[in-house]
Structure 1
Amino acid sequence: MAIRKLTKVGNSLGITFPVEMLKTANLAFGDELEVEFKGEEIILRKNKNVKLPKGVDAEFMEMLSDVIKEHDEAFKGLVDR
């Protein structure tokens, strides 16, 4: 369990997660989450029903994700160039 604080994001409230937590949950920037409310509990799940662009299948996206993870440091180094 981790304690997180709600923060102001424009006219809304948001929550941030440490990178380690996101990696554990296999989440990345742009991923869609399903949100379910059960009383005072909030359940977040990665949306697995995302529609992919025409010509892109789930196998390609998984392969691309693996490449990105494998070369994460190199991609981060390219950001500042």
Structure 2
Amino acid sequence: MSKLNEIERKVTKFGNSLGITMTDALKQLGLEAGDTVRIDVHQSDGEIVIKKVNKVDLPTGISTDFLDTLSHVMEKYDETLKGLKDR
């Protein structure tokens, strides 16, 4: 189980934008300038989740459309696929 680190920051104005600094937290995830992250906003509970995106080069002949479709199917049939795995 990973350790939960709570860090408190104030929202600050950066030009015309609002933001927070969180260098220590990003370093703990191994993130550096130029890395890509995915941000999930959960309005119902006021939670923002930031996840590191691991870039993968697609094999020749595999399109991004195929992966998008595959991802959609896996999300839609997640419980069914889990059930098949346990058979």
Provide the residue aligned with 2:17 in structure 1: 12
Max Rg structure = 2
**Paired residues, number:** 50
TM-score (norm 1): 0.51
Aligned-residue CA RMSD (Å): 1.9
Runs of 5+ in structure 1 lacking a partner? 52-81
Q: Which structure shows the higher strand fraction?
A: 1
46 and 17 in structure 1: CA distance in 2 versus 1, 3 angstrom threshold: same
Q: Tell me, in whole angstroms, the C-alpha distance in 2 between the residues paired with 1:13 and 1:7.
A: 6
Runs of 5+ in structure 2 lacking a partner? 1-5, 58-87
Alignment pair present for 1:41 and 2:57? no
TM-score (norm 2): 0.48
Task: Indicate the percent of aligned positions where both proteins have the same amino acid.
Answer: 40
